[in-house]
Structure 1
Amino acid sequence: MLVRVHVTLKAGVLDPQGAAVRHSLNSLGFEGVEKVRQGKVIELALSETDPAKAEAQAGEMCEKLLANTVIENYKIEIV
């Protein structure tokens, strides 16, 4: 089963990488970009066939390794 995890910074956490991307986009002529928040997408191919169990496994992975839950949120998507 394919699971996609979206990890993003929590609101209020500074995003210097997003700011650098916004600045670069503006430099390239995309002047309407007011804010950029950068995140990551992680795809996991799991042998689990039960969607609920796969989601639970992915959640445990996020809590232990994939996301820094102090400053990041994550969303799990069963694909």
Structure 2
Amino acid sequence: MECPMTPQADEADELRRLERAVANLPAMQRYIFLAKCRDGRPYAEIAARTRLSRKGVQKRLARALYNIRRQMDGEHLRWWQRWF
């Protein structure tokens, strides 16, 4: 059994919190975040797939990062933040 204060336990907890935060994002933000950050797709490709402008993709990625950071800090998204 691991001590709850070990670095591995802290990293596992951080990863679970990140996964939960990403899962709570609105669908479009989640798609864009995963496409860019996990899959490394270029903005132009994401824009073509989502029918958004490149600037629109960048804005939604910035919102996704902001929302993830808020959730990681322990804040819950308000109902209206889950739609944009």
Could you say which TM-score interval applies, normalised by the shorter chain? under 0.3
Which structure has the higher relative contact order (CA within 8 Å, separation 6+)? 1
TM-score, scaled relative to structure 1: 0.27
Greater Rg over alpha carbons, structure: 1
TM-score, scaled relative to structure 2: 0.26
> Which structure carries more strand by proportion?
1
